[in-house]
Amino acid sequence: MKKVLQNLALLSIVLSASFAKLNAQTNQTINFESQPSKLGKAYPVPEDLSSIKNYANFKAKRQESLWFDYIDDARVFGETYTYFTGMYMMPDSLATIPFEDGPSHVSVHGGGMMFDPASLFWQVNSNDLEYSRHLKYTIDSVSIPFKYHNFGSTTDSLIISYTAGDRMGGVQWGSSGETSSTVRYAPATNSVINPNKSVVIRLDSTDNTEGFFRTNFASYIAGSLDLAVGVDVNPAANDPERGNLFGVTVQFMPKIGASTLGQSLTSNDSTNIDANNLSMFSMLNMRGTGGITVSDESQNHGLLLFSGQRYSDNENWFFLPYAPPGDDKLFNYVLFKVSGQNVGINDINDNVSFALKPNPAKQNDVLFADFKIIKPSNVNISITDLQGKVIKNLTNQYYVPGQHNIDVSINDLNTGIYLYNISTEFGSATKKFIVN
């Protein structure tokens, strides 16, 4: 392995504004000098994930109602990924990692993921969220793939923190003025500031990942933390742009820590392993490598705690939201189970249900607009652009109760985002769909 993510410990971070108060979302401005080419060796994520050992069990969660997987949904729109094999997490930088080009101190001290309901990519999920920044919802559960190795002598801990709504923070990228949301962090206590909830998970040798020392992608999918959350997320009146976001963060706390100054993590499974070596923990960290066909402006991105944040002199700091403008995005693989208003609902009310498939569609596809009414009604269905201009009228006539199917060619539609509108005497609804 090469040094992975080590250079990001040298981030140039400049504070130009402080948080007005503990629970405020005031943006802090940072100058971010990212060098993705120096992140170290990364391995491509296989195209056919179904062939990976245990992946079917992992992905079966998507078949349950209302699980959201941003990484996989972005793949539908052309995103590709690489994954890093050396992102071992420690509470400090004292331990060293024996990379193939020499030892290097740990520079990753925590990780996580943001969840934003206002993403176009959720449209590819049959149990999709209504596209809205005003959505009230509950994070029921999270599922976090991980790798862990314990040498048999300790019980280690994970601190999982959940932060929502107006407890979030924000940073402004100095180079562009764009903003990203994040979880706020106190370096002095090595803890999340004002989370909605924090839990401690114990790990020991019985939790060891099979094939931990392998670098193949299957070893990262071999196990996951499946955790009940139960945190309600409500839009913040003072910040409609970010008020209903949710962030989960993970910090690893080995029982043997600072007392082992300079002690190396072990990079192989030799039969002569020292029983006193430090335990090893890693989330599945991935980098989007481009090729995506539809721009998504939501705040679904990874959260990373590098040495630049861990050892900051600022009382109120942050997990780095790895969504810098113009750069590849970094993610920590997390699935979210969501319930609440407008979640997984394809019905206008008890009298009308509808569906539009496929979504996303291709230009040469036939679009299937299916609806069912239990009372007679005039039904109007149209396709508009995002400004409301009618592009196609699919139907506008009287229908008897029952199931009805309308097929329409979309050869004349350009690639982009459109609105699908249905109106009846019992109510109306609008959904987005995408043409690739």
Residue 283 near residue 146 (C-beta atoms within 8 A): yes
* In the predicted structure, residue 75 carries a pLDDT above the cut 80: yes
**pLDDT tens-digit profile of 94-136?**
877 766 666 777 888 999 999 998 787 776 655 455 556 667 8
Percentage of the chain with pLDDT > 70? Answer: 72
Number of domains in the chain: 2
* In the predicted structure, residue 372 carries a pLDDT above the cut 70: yes
Q: What's the pLDDT at 22? A: 31
Q: What's the pLDDT at 43? A: 83
Instruction: Measure the CA–CA gap between 344 and 347, rounded to whole angstroms.
Output: 9
Please tell me whether residues 358 and 336 are part of one structural domain.
no
Please tell me whether residues 186 and 310 are part of one structural domain.
yes
Structure tokens at 355: 């569906």
Residue where a domain terminates, one of 340, 375, 410: 340
Residue 287 near residue 323 (C-beta atoms within 8 A): no
Cis-peptide into 358, omega within 30 deg: yes
| 263 found inside a domain | yes
Give SS3 for 220. Answer: helix
Q: What's the pLDDT at 271? A: 36
* In the predicted structure, residue 202 carries a pLDDT above the cut 90: yes
Q: What's the pLDDT at 151? A: 79
Angle at alpha carbon of residue 201, lines to 195 and 202, rounded to 5°: 150
Instruction: Measure the CA–CA gap between 434 and 76, rounded to whole angstroms.
Output: 11
Please tell me whether residues 396 and 318 are part of one structural domain.
no
Please tell me whether residues 351 and 288 are part of one structural domain.
no
Q: Which residue has the higher pLDDT, 379 or 416?
A: 379
| 2 found inside a domain | no
Residue 167 near residue 195 (C-beta atoms within 8 A): yes
Residue 85 near residue 43 (C-beta atoms within 8 A): yes
CATH number at residue 368: 2.60.40.2550
Q: Which residue has the higher pLDDT, 381 or 47?
A: 381
* In the predicted structure, residue 415 carries a pLDDT above the cut 70: yes
Instruction: Measure the CA–CA gap between 421 and 432, rounded to whole angstroms.
Output: 9
Lowest mean pLDDT among 29-38, 107-116, 387-396: 29-38
CA 108 centroid distance within chain: 18
* In the predicted structure, residue 410 carries a pLDDT above the cut 70: yes
* In the predicted structure, residue 408 carries a pLDDT above the cut 70: yes
Q: What's the pLDDT at 240? A: 56
Which regions of 183-340 does DSSP assign to beta strands (E)?
A: 184-186, 191-192, 197-203, 224-233, 246-253, 280-283, 285-288, 302-306, 317-318, 320-321, 330-332, 335-340
Q: Which residue has the higher pLDDT, 362 or 277?
A: 362
Percentage of the chain with pLDDT > 90? Answer: 21
Query: With left for phi above 0 and alpha for psi between -120 and 50, is residue 187 left, alpha or beta?
Result: alpha
* In the predicted structure, residue 304 carries a pLDDT above the cut 60: yes
Q: State mean pLDDT over 73-92.
A: 84
Residue where a domain terminates, one of 309, 340, 371: 340
- Domain residues for the domain of 403 are 347-435
pLDDT classification of 301: cutoffs 50, 70, 90: very high
Highest mean pLDDT among 192-201, 247-256, 392-401: 192-201
Q: What's the pLDDT at 152? A: 74
Please tell me whether residues 411 and 392 are part of one structural domain.
yes
Residue 168 near residue 242 (C-beta atoms within 8 A): yes
* In the predicted structure, residue 327 carries a pLDDT above the cut 90: no
Please tell me whether residues 296 and 400 are part of one structural domain.
no
Give SS3 for 162. Answer: strand
Q: What's the pLDDT at 220? A: 81
Residue where a domain terminates, one of 340, 362, 394: 340
Q: Which residue has the higher pLDDT, 10 or 135?
A: 135
Please tell me whether residues 128 and 243 are part of one structural domain.
yes
Q: What is the DSSP letter of 413?
A: P
Q: What's the pLDDT at 61? A: 57
Structure tokens at 206: 């019985």
Q: What's the pLDDT at 55? A: 62
| 361 found inside a domain | yes
* In the predicted structure, residue 258 carries a pLDDT above the cut 80: no
Give SS3 for 305. Answer: strand
Cis-peptide into 187, omega within 30 deg: no
| 269 found inside a domain | yes
| 195 found inside a domain | yes
| 34 found inside a domain | yes
Please tell me whether residues 322 and 411 are part of one structural domain.
no
Average pLDDT, the chain: 76
Instruction: Measure the CA–CA gap between 18 and 24, rounded to whole angstroms.
Output: 10
Q: What's the pLDDT at 165? A: 85
Please tell me whether residues 242 and 136 are part of one structural domain.
yes
**pLDDT tens-digit profile of 147-188?**
998 877 788 999 999 999 889 888 888 767 788 899 999 999
Highest mean pLDDT among 81-90, 267-276, 308-317, 335-344: 308-317
Q: What's the pLDDT at 357? A: 75
| 232 found inside a domain | yes
Q: What's the pLDDT at 128? A: 53
* In the predicted structure, residue 194 carries a pLDDT above the cut 90: yes
